[in-house]
């Protein structure tokens, strides 16, 4: 199987697997305990926290909150920031990940003001429009660094500055889950007060993530219990997962420029091969303003679900919409927000590349896509 669905999840890096192994066996302690076995786990957890803080440019290790993944990090950011403020309003974009959208809707059901900002035909936001939606009741502005479906990047730094020019007290959150592996996601580069990351998008294990919380930002907990993570996220820590995640972060940051150049060239070659065999193929993102690992395309007249089933049979794994939904293929809210009709949206597929992708795999995948499309047509 040629795997072109790295945006859904990417294979674990060998160094992440190796880092986890001791904590799945001998060093199995609960880091909240007081004896030696627990202290070993606690020491590893805090060493990982310090390294994670360094890798994203946080000023203090305790600005790093370990979560059960990107979805939980988004929920804690949006709901936590809204509920901790008397203002409580949320401004976000219509193309956000479901974790942000549903968190915002939950806040709305509690009687808080919520605004969903539209995008242009390429899925991009205008910082001025975001700032115009910010008011006295706005507690948090949540804008993703790059879209998980199309790969389109958002001007988060400009949006953060524009929002604060209207309301200096507003908290800015960015879901950087999809962007971290190829973009320079740091506190300084984003200008955000809250940053969500998920390990399995950059070569770590599933079920573990990070929420960066700028010192001084108040969050209401959304998971209650033993008060771990300074009361911001209760629950026994997944020490092996955290250690594996930070090992993957280290590798991703060290190789980011190489990844950007190598994977970008692989993706570009793949798209060129597709265009050669499918002349009417359309790319659903601005060529110069998207993640290098994403190829989100429309093939007119070709039902995406049918195409993906046939590609799976031929040995190519792709996707339609977001893999973070229940698994059923449905009309993408991202494409709808971009103004695409339901018929056109149902003709769109996403091929995404990762650290393990190779040029030969991409070339063979393109050949198979062209072949399957030709057969179906």
Q: Which residues are catalytic?
A: 324
CB atoms within 10 A of CB 136: 10
Q: What angle do CA 185, 336, 69 make, to 5 degrees?
A: 35
Place of tokens 């200008």: 191
> d(Cα 162, Cα 156) in Å, to the nearest integer?
10
> d(Cα 56, Cα 194) in Å, to the nearest integer?
12
Nearest to 295 by CA among 311, 325, 272, 328: 272
CB atoms within 10 A of CB 252: 24
The CA dihedral of 363, 367, 369, 370, to the nearest 10 degrees, is: 130
The token duo for 121 is: 């035909």
> d(Cα 293, Cα 147) in Å, to the nearest integer?
12
> d(Cα 8, Cα 70) in Å, to the nearest integer?
12
Sign of the four-CA dihedral 318, 322, 326, 330? negative
For residue 129, give the H/E element and its range: helix 127-133
Note whether 115 and 91 are within 8 A (CB). yes
> d(Cα 186, Cα 112) in Å, to the nearest integer?
30
């Amino acid at each position: 199987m040629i795997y072109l669905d790295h945006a859904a999840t990417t294979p674990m890096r060998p160094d992440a697997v190796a880092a986890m192994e001791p904590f799945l066996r001998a060093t199995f302690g609960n880091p909240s305990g007081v004896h030696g076995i627990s202290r070993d786990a606690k020491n590893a957890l805090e060493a990982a926290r310090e390294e994670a803080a360094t890798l994203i440019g946080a000023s203090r290790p305790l600005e790093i909150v370990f979560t059960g993944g990107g979805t939980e990090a988004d929920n804690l950011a949006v709901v936590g920031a809204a509920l901790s403020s008397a203002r409580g309003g949320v401004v976000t974009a219509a193309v956000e990940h479901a974790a942000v959208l549903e968190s915002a809707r939950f806040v709305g059901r509690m009687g808080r003001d919520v605004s969903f900002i539209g995008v242009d035909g390429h899925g991009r936001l205008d910082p001025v429009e975001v700032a115009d939606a910010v008011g006295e009741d706005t507690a948090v502005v949540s804008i993703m660094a790059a879209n998980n479906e199309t790969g389109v990047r958002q001007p988060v730094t400009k949006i953060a500055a524009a929002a604060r020019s209207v309301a200096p007290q507003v908290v800015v959150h960015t879901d950087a889950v999809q962007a971290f592996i190829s973009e320079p996601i740091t506190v300084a580069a984003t200008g955000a007060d809250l940053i969500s990351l998920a390990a399995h998008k950059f070569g770590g294990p599933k079920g573990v993530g990070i929420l960066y919380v700028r010192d001084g930002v108040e969050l209401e907990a959304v998971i209650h219990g033993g008060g771990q993570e300074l009361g911001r996220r209760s629950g026994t820590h997944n020490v092996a997962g955290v250690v594996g995640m930070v090992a993957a972060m280290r590798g991703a940051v060290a190789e980011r420029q190489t990844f950007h150049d190598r994977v970008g060239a692989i993706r570009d070659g793949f798209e060129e091969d597709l265009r050669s065999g499918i002349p009417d193929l359309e790319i659903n993102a601005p060529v110069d303003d998207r993640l290098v690992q994403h190829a989100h395309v429309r093939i007119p007249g070709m039902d995406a679900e049918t195409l993906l089933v046939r590609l799976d049979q031929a040995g190519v794994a792709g996707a339609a919409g977001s893999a973070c939904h229940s698994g059923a293929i449905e009309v993408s809210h991202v494409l709808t927000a971009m103004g695409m009709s339901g018929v056109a949206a149902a003709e769109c597929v996403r091929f995404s590349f990762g650290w393990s992708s190779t040029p030969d795999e991409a070339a063979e995948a393109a050949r198979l896509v062209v072949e399957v499309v030709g057969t179906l047509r």
